[in-house]
Amino acid sequence: MTAQLAGKIAVITGAGSGLGAAMGRAFARTGMAIAALDIDEPSAQQTATALADEFGVPTTALRVDVGDSGSVAGAARHVEATLGGCDVLCANVGVQQFGAIDRLTEQDWQWVLGVNVLGMVRTVREFLPLLRARSGWRRIVLTASSSVLAPAVRMGAYQTSKFAVMGFGETLREELAGEGIGVTLLFPGGMATRHLASSAKARPAELGASATRKEDLAAMLAHRPLADGDVVTPEHALRNLLAGLIDDVPYVVTHGSHRAVYEQRRDAMDAALDRMEAS
Contacts of 190 (CB under 8 A, 6+ apart): 146, 226, 230, 231, 232, 256
DSSP state of 14: T
Which run of H or of E encompasses 185? strand 181-187
| 20 is a site residue for ligand NAD (CB under 6 A) | yes
| 185 is a site residue for ligand NAD (CB under 6 A) | no
| 241 is a site residue for ligand NAD (CB under 6 A) | no
| 190 is a site residue for ligand NAD (CB under 6 A) | yes
| For helices 156-176 and 106-113, angle between their N-to-C axes, nearest 10 degrees | 30
One of 10, 11, 17, 57 touching ligand NAD (CB under 6 A): 17
One of 30, 46, 59, 143 touching ligand NAD (CB under 6 A): 143
One of 2, 29, 31, 40 touching ligand NAD (CB under 6 A): 40
Shortest Å, Cβ 245 to ligand NAD: 17
| Rounded Cα distance, 61 and 141, in Å | 19
* Catalytically annotated residue among 158, 191, 224, 241: 158
3-state secondary structure of 11: strand
| 184 is a site residue for ligand NAD (CB under 6 A) | no
> Is 262 annotated in the active site?
no
One of 141, 172, 183, 191 touching ligand NAD (CB under 6 A): 191
| Rounded Cα distance, 116 and 11, in Å | 17
| Rounded Cα distance, 31 and 55, in Å | 7
Which run of H or of E encompasses 157? helix 156-176
| Sign of the dihedral defined by the CA atoms of residues 85, 87, 88, 91, in that order | positive
> In terms of Cα–Cα distance, which of 7, 21, 13 is closest to 56?
7
Looking at 2-10, 134-142, 185-193, 220-228, which segment touches ligand NAD (CB under 6 A)? 185-193
Shortest Å, Cβ 107 to ligand NAD: 15
| 112 is a site residue for ligand NAD (CB under 6 A) | no
**Residues β-bridged to residue 253:** 187
One of 93, 155, 176, 238 touching ligand NAD (CB under 6 A): 93
- Our CB check for ligand NAD shows the closer of 60 and 193 to be 193
The residues annotated with a catalytic role in the active site are 158
Q: Which residues bind ligand NAD (CB under 6 A)?
A: 13-14, 16-20, 38-40, 43, 64-67, 92-95, 115, 143, 145-146, 188, 190-191, 193-195, 198, 202, 234
